[in-house]
Structure 1
Amino acid sequence: MDTKNLKIRKPCADDGVALHQLIQQCPPLDLNSTYLYLLQTTHFAETCVVAELDGQPSAFLSGYIKPGTRDTFFLWQVAVGDALRGQGMAKQLIDAVLNREACRDVKYLETTITPDNEASWALFRSFARDRHASLEDAVFFTREQLGGEHDPEVLVRIGPFNN
């Protein structure tokens, strides 16, 4: 990959449609509405990250500071398009958001993963190792709570760590 054409930045509303299309190309991620991606790129821009390759959003991380806490970042989705896969981009996006002023008090990262999403499990186990932090997991939403047609979502909590 030619990294001179790579830019990691905060998202903006103009990214909404492209991010919707990116998520669509990244199974097994759940596709949300374009409207939701527009909200993430505006209301949550401080805690979301876009990797732009040759002027096109090619990777995206969405998340937020968990309500009622200052020390926990909840990572909602991380999507890496074909052009950037296999190059550690997901970890770069996590590091980029955690290094922002908005995350200065963060000591824990939480996310949910389905039991069979091996790529996500590998990413977050590796992240925990890199940060010398513990990783705990427990079922957060059951199949029944998710309407019976979605695998359970396991809450993963990593930390404490230093940004």
Structure 2
Amino acid sequence: MTAAPADIARARTEFLTIDTPRVEDGAAIWRIARDSEVLDLNSSYSYLLWCRDFAATSVVARDEKGEPVAFVTGYFRPDRPGTLVVWQVAVDHAHRGRGLAAELLDALTSRVAAERGLDAVETTVTPDNTASDRLFTSYAQRHDVPLEREVLFDGGLFPEGTHLPEVLYRIGPFA
């Protein structure tokens, strides 16, 4: 017998909690990003800083032991203070395929909207990252807001010479 989607969602929320990241989570978040095999991996130091300086615009999912198993990091654009930029989204391999990334994204945007308002969400996605494309496209559809795409950084701007373009996804405005 296979579990119905509602049963999976119920089981997931029984054992996972959504929380604000703490500095102590930086190493685990770095490992999740590294093991994703699709994210540009930042230095381990940057994840510690992220958990300190941008905790209010980021979320983690914790397992029953309190260990991070997924995260979304973000920040507000300095020149557009109502625009949340989603920097990275990653889910540990053991927890993929259950809608956890979407649940985290919804939780984060709901929280920041309630705390300081939210006009739009931005992120960048490379053309080969179908999972992120689906995540942000479905997010816009769920929230019934427009989604615009345009190349933000051409691949030739990156020093390694092999980077794909980063396509800006602008979601909003929110009502």
TM-score tier, shorter chain, comes to over 0.9
Per-residue CA deviations over 1:10-60 (Å, capped at 9, x if unaligned) read 001111111111111112111111110001100000001010112221001
The yes-or-no answer on 1:15 pairing with 2:25 is: yes
Moved more, 20-29 or 92-101: 92-101
The yes-or-no answer on 1:37 pairing with 2:13 is: no
The structure that is helix-richer by fraction is 2
Equivalent AA in structure 2 for residue 96 of structure 1: A
Shift of 1:65: 0.8
Choose the corresponding residue for 2:34, options 21, 24, 28: 24
The yes-or-no answer on 1:70 pairing with 2:81 is: yes
CA RMSD of aligned residues (A): 1.4
Per-residue CA deviations over 1:60-95 (Å, capped at 9, x if unaligned) read 100001112222100000001122211111111111
TM-score, normalised relative to structure 1: 0.93
Runs (4 or more) in structure 1 with deviation over 4 Å come to none
Secondary structure of the residue that 1:40 maps to in structure 2? helix
Choose the corresponding residue for 1:116, options 128, 143, 147: 128
Partner Cα distance (1:101, 1:8) in 2: 14
Choose the corresponding residue for 2:154, options 127, 142, 147: 142
The percent of aligned pairs where both chains have the same amino acid is: 46
Partner Cα distance (1:99, 1:120) in 2: 19
Per-residue CA deviations over 1:131-153 (Å, capped at 9, x if unaligned) read 11111111111111112121110
Q: Give the paired residue count.
A: 162
In the other structure, the counterpart of 1:154 is 167
Decide which structure has the larger Cα Rg and report it.
2
Contact 1:142 1:152 in 2 (8 A): yes
Shift of 1:2: 4.6
Structural mapping, 1:125-136, within 5 Å: 125-136=137-148
Equivalent AA in structure 1 for residue 148 of structure 2: E
Point out where structure 2 has 5 or more consecutive residues left out of the alignment: 1-10
Equivalent AA in structure 2 for residue 111 of structure 1: T
Partner Cα distance (1:110, 1:143) in 2: 19
